[in-house]
Amino acid sequence: MKTLALVIGNNDYPGRGKLENAVNDANAIFNVFSRLGYEVLYKENCVVTDYDELLEQFENGMASVDASIFYFAGHGFEFQGENYLTSIESPLENPTVRLCERTCIRLSEITDIIKRSSTKVNIIIIDACRGSFDRGVSSTFASVTAPEGTIIAFSTSPGEGAKDSGFDGHSLYTGALLQYLGREFLSVEELFKKTRKTVHNLSSGTQTSWEHTSLVGDFYFNTGQLVHSVTIPYEESVVKDRLFSPDQSDIEQIILKLKSCDWNEQNPAMVKLRGTQVQNMTENQKFLLGRNILQSSSHAFESQSFMKDLASNLRAYNSGGKNDVLNGILFEMYFDNNGDFRQGKFKKHHLDEVFSLRKLPEYEASFNFIKEALSEYRESLFYIPEKDDHTIDVDVLANAHLASESNEAYETIESIIVDGKDITEGIKNMRGFRTSSEALKQIITEYLTAPESLVNINSNVAIQKFKFHYDGLDF
């Protein structure tokens, strides 16, 4: 469904009306909508003349799309029965009808544009009411009726205020909304329902978002088209490399064979690569080559040989201060063939060889690349590779025992905690029959996808030979 979005965020109001996070909110929404492939009109800190131009562009653009989205973050209020979305020139403390009409967008202007359009689905998202005002201004909204085919979502219910913070650089509402916008095949109604629950829970019940809807059809923000990031400097066909369709060039035929998952194809391809001219390769080809060298190195010995001397083998691909092959290797570790984050199912073979490059100046740009690519998944990771190291502290709670028959000492592990997260079950599932202290650190390191040298285990008893509580293993 072809979609046009207008996204506005205003921080720079005068005096005590200044906000901290509205522009952050709008920018984050803009980035997600861009990654979803929407056409996006974006403006921050709007003055009156900006609104005239933006609404004109929005209405004209709706003639050629199936769906529209209007998103506003900033101050909004009800005054004498009309709902206003302010510009940074709006009178927040001493409004008159004439000043509001001249300096604000009326919410009814947006609904009137929708009524005149032929779009099938229209979504209005208002993250406003972020402060209280004086002299007859209500910092909530008057009741509003959604035109047919439209859902209007407000960050707060009538009589409540909306928080300008509360979600790590975002308002509570937009921060919650961003958690769900990229989720595949989540209907718009279900998305706002989940957002409402999160806002209510994280505000301890003091803020409840609400919606008014007259939608007659379904709308899904993400039907599988979400790309990882519009800032990744590679074509969609190599970010989502399931879309790769090779031409007859030597390098693309090599890549095709590396993708085959057949080491009888992969090994000769790697041999042929050694005689292929690097200067004839495009950035996209080198990126895709890196991805497939890593994935083929799980079985093909020629790819394994390349990875074992990675620092030297990559130098031929250095160009313009970056290395697209290493970018591809790092991307393949964390993202699948649809460009989606692997959610813990990372490709960990040759982890040490890859991470050992993080402090080499010639490869610094690649680690900056993957750091940016992983930034929005930071909460799902224990470690992001970069040149500046930090110790990962692991707290292991265990009890010391003596086996009843052999009198042999052993320890039962009760819990393993990292950054407040209990990873005990994950470690237990990976352990197999390994029981030594060295094995424990190796397993934890693999689970964390981190260099072993950065992992520090704090245990209340010395771990020599361990088992897990209730795992039934006899020594």
Residues 197 and 338 in one domain: no
Q: Are residues 95 and 165 in the same domain?
A: yes
Contact 370, 322 (CB under 8 A): no
Is there a single domain that holds both residue 312 and residue 356?
yes
Could you tell me if 180 and 277 lie in one domain?
no
Tell me, what DSSP letter sits at residue 316? G
The torsion region of residue 373 among left (phi > 0), alpha (psi -120 to 50) and beta comes to: alpha
Does residue 386 lie within any of the structural domains? no
**10 shares its domain with 132:** yes
List alpha helices for 64-187, DSSP H: 97-103, 107-116, 172-181
Q: Which of 357, 348, 368, 121 is nearest to 221 (CA)?
A: 121
In a domain, 227, yes or no: no
Give a yes or no: residue 473 inside a domain. no
CA–CA distances in Å: residue 113 to residues 41, 53, 116: 16, 14, 5
Q: Tell me, yes or no, whether 38 and 181 share the same domain.
A: yes
3-class DSSP state for residue 319?
strand
Range of the domain at 419: 392-468
Total structural domains in the chain?
3
Does residue 475 belong to any structural domain of this protein? no
The residue type of 237 is: S
| Cα–Cα distance, 475 to 448 (Å, whole number) | 28
Let me know: does 423 contact 417? Beta carbons within 8 Å.
Answer: yes
Q: Which of 380, 409, 441 is the last residue of a domain?
A: 380
Contact assessment for residue 180 and residue 209, using Cβ atoms and an 8 Å cutoff? no
**Do the domain assignments include residue 229?**
no
Same-domain pairing of 314 and 425: no
CATH number of the structural domain spanning residue 93: 3.40.50.1460
* Same domain (yes/no): 246, 335: yes
CA 126 to chain centre: 22
Asked whether residue 387 is domain-assigned, the answer is no
- Residue 222 placed within a domain: no
Distance between CA atoms of residues 424 and 100, nearest Å: 58
Which among 345, 380, 415 is the end of a domain? 380
Task: For residues 34 and 104, state if they share a domain.
Answer: yes
**Final residue of a domain: which of 198, 213, 228?**
213
Per-residue pLDDT of the chain (475 residues; tens, 9 = 90+): 899 999 999 999 988 889 999 999 999 999 999 989 899 999 999 999 999 999 999 999 999 999 999 999 999 988 888 889 999 999 887 788 899 999 999 999 999 999 999 999 999 999 987 444 433 344 556 667 789 999 999 998 766 666 666 787 899 999 999 999 988 889 999 999 999 999 999 988 888 888 999 998 889 998 877 765 666 788 888 998 998 999 999 999 999 999 998 999 999 999 999 999 999 999 999 999 999 999 999 999 999 999 999 999 999 999 999 999 999 999 999 999 988 899 889 999 899 999 999 999 999 999 999 998 998 788 889 999 999 989 999 999 999 998 877 788 888 999 999 999 999 999 998 887 778 889 999 999 999 999 999 999 999 999 888 988 765 555 4
263 shares a domain with 185: no
Q: Do 62 and 204 fall within a single domain?
A: yes
Please give the Cα distance from 474 to 380 (Å, whole number).
35
Alpha carbon 106 to its chain's center: 33
Residue 218 located in a structural domain? no
Neighbours of 421 (CB within 10 A): 10
Regarding whether 398 and 375 lie in a shared domain, the answer is no
Element (H, E) at 446: helix 437-448
Residues 408/402, Cβ–Cβ less than 8 Å: yes
The secondary structure element, H or E, covering residue 152 is: strand 150-154
